[in-house]
Amino acid sequence: MNKRVHNFSAGPSILPDQVFDHASSAIKNFNNSGLSILEISHRSKDFIEVLKESRSLALDIAGLNNEEYSCLYLQGGASLQFLMTAYNFLNSNAAYINTGSWSSKAIKEAKIFGKVTEIASSADKNFNYIPKRYDINEQYDYLHITSNNTIFGTQFHSFPDSNCPLFADMSSDIFSRKINFSKFDLIYAGAQKNLGPAGVTMVLIKNSLLNMITREIPSMLSYKIHIDKDSSFNTPPVFAIYCVLLNLRLIKKDGLDIIGKNNNLKSELIYNEIDNNKCFSGFSNFDDRSEMNVTFNLSDGYDGELFSKICNENNISGINGHRSVGGYRASIYNALPIESIKVLIKCMKEFESNYN
């Protein structure tokens, strides 16, 4: 039997064992239908029930009224949402807070459709903090933020009060803590962090937003059409949605209060080691540190090959930082057990002991 791998990958990322157990069984025989979840029709009663339950659970977990909000399962990842949000809702001028690579890409796509005002940015310090001071003009079509930044390891711990609709890319921290989701008019999240496997994107959208749409939208990029067609305008990613459903059941069972406390504890343990270990230094500003993606570097003069060797010997996977910034990144999504955190800390202490 292989030793347990401690998966710190930023995505596709770790999922609960229960999801694998149920999903693997469904690949052989889904709901005793004699068919695999991979081959059932997306129009079948069995899958329509999957879609219905998963949409209902997502809104329930978020505390959103299912008459005011819709839950969609779309394809194309958050990258398509960068385009789709602007295509549908940017009519004259939209506001963006730029906190890293993903918000920069969202801004690039939005500029195709109208004026974009970057009301705040942390680019001046290589995105190691979350901007706090900015003016939000009620005339903006919407304000867009990226709630958590996987590459630079920063996170919004409070959200802007906005007179215009508030949009958020929550790909890497959705359902990782209890927040007031009703502050947002549109939330999107690629599944491959905290929700499920790659291939599906969750969108939570306030139905009244549809009244803002003034231009003709191609069918595949129209939120209205996807809402009208119950996320089945085209063939949806059946297996990925089923895995999301399995995970949402677990999230609902545990509750966001407990999940948030666990994630806070895990991140505090790692940050405490970084702050007290002479071999390492944190990247992000103290007040804006992410509870999902802990970014850090080796202090000057220490041997990265030795640290990698220690990590490999302890079955740690996915610890390297994003290729654009280097260093290290421990992604500690919901499903990562605290035992994996303790193993990483043990490796860091062992590394430091080589220099004592």
Give yes or no: 102 in active site.
Answer: yes
Cα 343 to Cα 211: distance, rounded to the nearest angstrom:
51
Residue type, 34: G
- For 62, residues 6+ apart whose C-beta sits below 8 A from its C-beta are 69, 175, 181, 187, 204
- Say which of 141, 173, 193, 266 is annotated catalytic: 193
Map residue 356 onto helix, strand or coil. Answer: coil
What are the angstrom distances between the C-alpha of 270 and each of 46, 301, 344, 350?
43, 21, 8, 14
Q: Is position 169 annotated as part of the catalytic site?
A: yes
Quickly list DSSP for 5-74: PEE--SSS----HHHHHHHHHHHH-STTSSS-TTTS-TTSHHHHHHHHHHHHHHHHHHT--TTTEEEEEE
Strands 166-169 and 143-146: parallel
What gap in Å lies between CA 166 and CA 92, rounded to an integer?
16
Asked about 21 being catalytic, the answer comes back as no
Catalytic residue among 141, 169, 173, 185: 169
Catalytic residues: 102, 169, 193
